[in-house]
Amino acid sequence: MGKKVDRFEELEVWQESTELAVTLYKHLKNCKDFGMRDQMQRAAVSIASNIAEGFDRQSQKEFIQFLYIARGSCAEVRTQLHIAAKVGILQSTEA
């Protein structure tokens, strides 16, 4: 059995999702397509934020619901990365 997690900051998925958001912010800081940049950044931040919010609800049912929302935000970021690579905002190695 795994160890009990007391804080969302201990969750590996939260840690990795915050790293994703930070990485996107760094790679997009000079992006002139403000709409795409802002949407990607908001969606990336939403992943970690929903994991944290769901965890702090203290109900397993609510936590699972917020994980589904975070998963949707992740799909949104993946889609935006594909588009950004195709239009030249990011190189495909970055996306």
Q: What is the CATH number of the domain that holds 52?
A: 1.20.1440.60
25: which 2 tokens? 């912010």
Q: pLDDT per residue over 43-73, tens digit each?
A: 999 999 999 999 999 799 999 999 999 999 9
Domain that holds residue 40: 35-95
Residue 9 has a pLDDT of: 98
Place 90 in a pLDDT band, splitting at 50, 70 and 90: confident
> How many residues are given for the chain?
95
Residues 13 and 22: their CA atoms lie apart, in Å, by: 14
Indicate the pTM of the whole model: 0.88
Q: What percent of the chain has pLDDT over 70?
A: 95
Residue 5 within a domain? no
Domain membership flag for residue 46:
yes
Q: Which amino acid is at 7?
A: R
Q: How many domains does the chain have?
A: 1
pLDDT of 13 higher than 60: yes
Helix or strand run (H / E) with residue 24: helix 12-28
11 within some domain: no
